[in-house]
Amino acid sequence: MALSSIPSTSSILFLSPFHFPSKSRRSFFSRSALILHPLFSTSLFSSLLTTPSRPISSNIYIKPPRAWSQPKYVYPDPIPEFAKAETQKFRSELRKRLAKDRETFGDDMDTVVKTCAEIFNDFLHKEYGGPGTLLVEPFTDMLLALKEKKLPGAPVAARAALLWAQNYVDQDWELWISQRPK
């Protein structure tokens, strides 16, 4: 930008390597425009900017602007009464769903339901704290536990348990919380 093109009343000179100081003590250089006051001559500023009186240090610390971070939401602790009631509901609903496929489970259906209900109960008592905290982990644990015990229909049971939980646990939590005395 040629200095002759700068208006005489007040001017803005855009500089690439030079910046004017900010209010922060640590970041002395943070902006890329220098406002020239009409009382100063452009030739004086030109000579100051092109021939600095002291060398500019390359070790200047430029602090990036502080990023805004969203406040962290703290999930409530698990509620043992909810966990107990939801486990009973889970057990009965899983038994109904698996009864439709009775030939897959045979005589082991009660053992499959019991194993899934125990894992689900542990999860509700230790980790579930409301909507947004339903994890896939207990359902993969169900699949692994059923396969470890060599029970039939492990993938079918784990999938049925997961689908039921996705559809009902968060809604049941909201209902439970809304009915609690405050």
Going by C-beta distance under 8 Å and a sequence separation of 6 or more, which residues neighbour residue 30? 19, 21, 22, 24, 62
Q: Residue 146: name the closest of 107, 106, 119, 164 by CA.
A: 119
Which residue type, as a one-letter code, is found at position 123? F
- Among the residue ranges 23-27, 106-110, 139-143, 169-173, the one predicted with the least confidence is 23-27
Distance CA 6, CA 19 (A): 18
Which element (helix H / strand E) includes 51? none
Distance CA 36, CA 107 (A): 89
Which class for 89: exposed (0-12), middle (13-18), buried (19 or more C-beta within 10 A)? Answer: middle
Q: Residue 146: name the closest of 115, 177, 119, 167 by CA.
A: 115
Percent of the chain past pLDDT 90, that is, above it, reads: 52
pLDDT of residue 67: 75
For residue 109, the tally of other CB atoms under 10 A from its CB is 20
Q: What is the pLDDT of residues 80-126, one digit of tens each?
A: 999 999 999 999 999 999 999 989 999 999 999 999 999 999 999 99
Q: Assess contact for 35 and 9: CB atoms under 8 A.
A: no
3-state helix, strand, coil in the chain (%, to 5): 50, 5, 40
Q: What is the pLDDT of residues 30-58, one digit of tens each?
A: 444 445 555 555 555 555 555 555 555 55
Distance CA 104, CA 135 (A): 27
Residue 22 clears pLDDT 70, i.e. is over it: no
